Structure 1
Amino acid sequence: MTATHEATPPAQKANQRRVAFASLIGTTIEWYDYFTYSTAAALVFAHLYFAPAGDGVGQLLAFATIGISFLFRPVGAFLSGHFGDKLGRRFILVVTLVTMGVATALIGLIPTYETIGVTAPILLILLRIIQGLSAGGEWGGAALLAVEHADDSHRGRAGSYPQLGVPLGMLLSSGVIALMTGVISPGEAFMEWGWRVPFLLSVVLIGVGYWVRRSVEDTPVFKEIQVESAKRKAPILVLFKKHLPLVIVAALIFAGNNASGYMTTGGFVTKYATTDGVGFSQTDVLLAITFGSFVWLVSTAVSGYLADRIGRVRTYVCGFVILIATAFPLFWLIDTGSLGLMYLALGTFSVGLGLSYGPQAALYVELFPASIRFSGVAISYALGAVIGGAFAPTIAQALLQATGTTASVSFYLVGMSVISLVAVSLVRDRRGIDLSVGNEAEQNAGVWRVGWEEHRIVD
């Protein structure tokens, strides 16, 4: 929390703990839902909803439905950014959480193509779009809730809590699906009904997340915005008129991590490692991805501390260097057919994912001025997801089918990480900057590190 928002230490610490838990559980629930869909797209949707297209095309279509939702993330970000800067961070978080959970549960109830024909994939795509709209607003609200409540010197650590929700959601999703494939509904039972259970379980998590989110107050910065709301222009218009270069660069910072992350979370590695050429069982691969999720979780937590110690930008650089170094070994080790080496591959790759993701909330929040911060953070994140992860599994699958080798996929991942490495090198590390509405003059100045004209707003 900035110096302009004082509170007694015990009350402040108790509030920050509630905020941290609220942002963590909310993003965990959201991404559990999202990753459950991605895994199902790799394992069952091609057979149950796109069978008439054939195995190869059907799998591409199943992966493409992952990407379709990303195209609607910017729409969700536009809406949540506008109303988040107008109505509050907490309000948007509750709306996106409930919407995502309902859409996920309904996916678990859709009949197959064999039962209702072309209506089945249409319903699947429509609900996937709703998931995309929800995800477009979720992260920005969670990031602002965590960082704007935090002490100046601990924003990196506070901002890592919503980031932790992503590997936690993946850990929970892959663990539940591994349980379904290996114990409760192995073989044909999983294809018949077992895959639906993880989707339906999201109903239970919605109630918990909704209760937690309702118990947290909105941020001090938003309360200041409310006082001056009559003087403020439409946040979206100001963002794109005065801050478009910053939005683009911020989006590119996220793109490399998102493209790399969707090799595992988007189902490509799951599908690739279970093919006849490699030969792992679904359960073995899911358990290995669960292990990778745990490493991602730990490295994300560590990156929050590093972001406060060595800076957001330096932590990012470490992460992208690791992603570049492990892009080729990731598939080389999987191709050996050794379960232990697959664990090693996913573990080392996930270290890079964590270090290039944990500092993101703090970096983004500190880049944008207070009155348009929700819009800037949410839209940059959504656009980065479109550029990076939207069709990463589809692109990877197409490259594999076209070239017959994962080397093409690795080159693609290296290219995306290099772009993000360059992008993050363009912005300044702004640790400790006052985030309050009264400090927008400083917030608008000195964003760019090299080669750019100093960034300012002139009203």
Structure 2
Amino acid sequence: MSSTIGAVLEWFDFFAFASLSGLILGKLFFSPTDPAAEILLGFSTLAVGYFARPIGGIIFGHFGDRLGRKPMLMITIWLMGVSTVLLGLFPTYSVIGIGATVTLVLLRVIQGLAVGGEYGGAALLIIEHAAKSNRRGLYSAWANVGASMGFLLASALLALLTATTTQEQFETWGWRVPFLVSAVLLLVGSYIRKQIQDTPEFKKLKSQEEGSHSKVHKVPLLTLLKTQWRALITAVAVPLATLVFYQIGLVFITPYATRYAGYGATAVLTAITIAQLFYIALSISFAYLSDRIGRRPVMAFGAVGCALWVSFVYFNLLKDGNFPQLVLAVTGLLFFVAATWGPQAAFLAELFSADVRYSGISVGYQLAGALSGLTPLVAFAALSGSGSWFAIALGTAAVSVVAGIGIATTKETAFERLRN
């Protein structure tokens, strides 16, 4: 519950910003420009947050491996919550000019730092409490599902707001509501996290801190790079596919469908909300399946399926402006993304030993996150330049190949004990 509610808050905030980047933030926080440039500026700010994530991963991974998982999770939840509420209160460009732009970027950087430390800590909080269990995939999937629930809440709230407010009302105050709502999630999440104990695996490390055989390193990242660099490369390559296709299905689709395929914003956000409901159930199901047949076959199925769906189905379904086809396009893509996402927390945790596990997961996953953060920007720029989605399909297929190589070159870990 602690891991899930914290992930809900952090990703609700993160994805509310992501969705609004494609709808309105470029218009509100930058100097007035043409519509396409506004979207690119909004996505550029989104990308800034993604590039802050690896820095957050390094910082919180370092202290998470030295001081504990729980303290870092308390810090990340407050960083994210406070920065998001401030964003909902701050004046726009029309009121204070360039100061609004600078503030937006700074708050986005803080969000990125917080998310950089959240995922690894939330996953480890579950996995290291269930180190001896044969259901690590199923249990740790809830850290992943928390992120999906955050996106579900964000898209559902934005769909409701766009449906019940006029364009003028939404631009004046409606866009602020998701950011202000996060204050409630912050208070609930921080209270729950305060009640928990740190993980048995970390307590075991701390008990060995004194003496010549201490496994609490002064600089865990250096130990990681020296001893487990191959695992770190895998921890970048495999999540990259998940995150890129997630961006295509849930962030890039907003400006694409509204500007190129004739859909209204409410229709797109409603379709995303419907698809997320299936995605949550599918992620848990695929995680459970990975406990039974292994992580590698489930995740490989997802990576291949994502590439084929985007290349041959996704954009063809969107071209007619038909709402059921829109729902099918997004849900179909998330079906395959769920196969890579559900088992992912367990897969990543099992790559590393306990002394560098927080750093390994956080740095690897957040480097992938930083690269994937360019997806909406690059995809929209390619689309604007060529008028065709073919380059997008080709690029995402290449990402699937990279993930496939990462999966194929890693031994199966689902049936082994968690590394000490």
Which TM class, normalised by the smaller chain length? over 0.9
1:211 and 1:227 map into 2 onto residues whose CA distance is 28
1:70 to 39, 50, 60: 50
After the TM superposition, which residues 237-316 of structure 1 pair with which residues of structure 2 at under 5 Å, given as runs?
237-265=222-250, 267-275=251-259, 277-316=260-299
The letter of the residue matching 1:426 is T
After the TM superposition, which residues 262-411 of structure 1 pair with which residues of structure 2 at under 5 Å, given as runs?
262-265=247-250, 267-275=251-259, 277-328=260-311, 329-387=313-371, 389-411=372-394
After the TM superposition, which residues 143-222 of structure 1 pair with which residues of structure 2 at under 5 Å, given as runs?
143-150=123-130, 151-183=132-164, 185-222=165-202
TM-score (norm. length: structure 2)? 0.96
2:329 and 2:38 map into 1 onto residues whose CA distance is 28
Secondary structure of residue in 1 paired with 2:341:
coil
Deviations 1:115-154 (A, max 9, x none): 1111111100000000000000000001111111114211
Q: Report how far residue 51 of structure 1 moved.
A: 3.8
Deviations 1:359-408 (A, max 9, x none): 11111111101111111111111111122x21100011011011101222
Maintained 8 Å contact 1:304/1:358: yes
Maintained 8 Å contact 1:251/1:381: yes
1:368 and 1:153 map into 2 onto residues whose CA distance is 17
2:93 to 92, 95, 113: 113
Deviates more, 1:416-425 or 1:229-238: 229-238
Q: Report how far residue 113 of structure 1 moved.
A: 0.9
Match of 1:50 in 2: 30
Maintained 8 Å contact 2:65/2:355: yes
Match of 1:93 in 2: 73
Secondary structure of residue in 1 paired with 2:350:
helix
Q: Report how far residue 264 of structure 1 moved.
A: 3.3
The letter of the residue matching 1:253 is V
1:286 and 1:209 map into 2 onto residues whose CA distance is 25
2:13 to 8, 27, 33: 33
Maintained 8 Å contact 1:250/1:364: yes
2:396 and 2:323 map into 1 onto residues whose CA distance is 23
Deviations 1:16-44 (A, max 9, x none): xxxxx111111111100000001110111
**Does the alignment pair 1:236 with 2:216?**
no
Deviations 1:397-443 (A, max 9, x none): 01101110122212222121221111111111112433363xxxxxx
Secondary structure of residue in 2 paired with 1:72:
helix
Q: Report how far residue 321 of structure 1 moved.
A: 1.8
The letter of the residue matching 1:103 is S
Q: Report how far residue 351 of structure 1 moved.
A: 0.5
Deviates more, 1:70-79 or 1:120-129: 70-79
- Uncovered stretches (5+) of structure 1, i.e. residues with no partner: 1-20, 438-459
Maintained 8 Å contact 1:221/1:436: no
1:51 and 1:312 map into 2 onto residues whose CA distance is 48
2:408 and 2:146 map into 1 onto residues whose CA distance is 26
Deviations 1:87-139 (A, max 9, x none): 11111111101110111111111211111111111100000000000000000
Match of 1:79 in 2: 59
Deviations 1:175-194 (A, max 9, x none): 001111102x2321111110
1:169 and 1:120 map into 2 onto residues whose CA distance is 26
**Does the alignment pair 1:421 with 2:411?**
no
Maintained 8 Å contact 1:78/1:378: yes
TM-score (norm. length: structure 1)? 0.88
2:415 and 2:397 map into 1 onto residues whose CA distance is 32
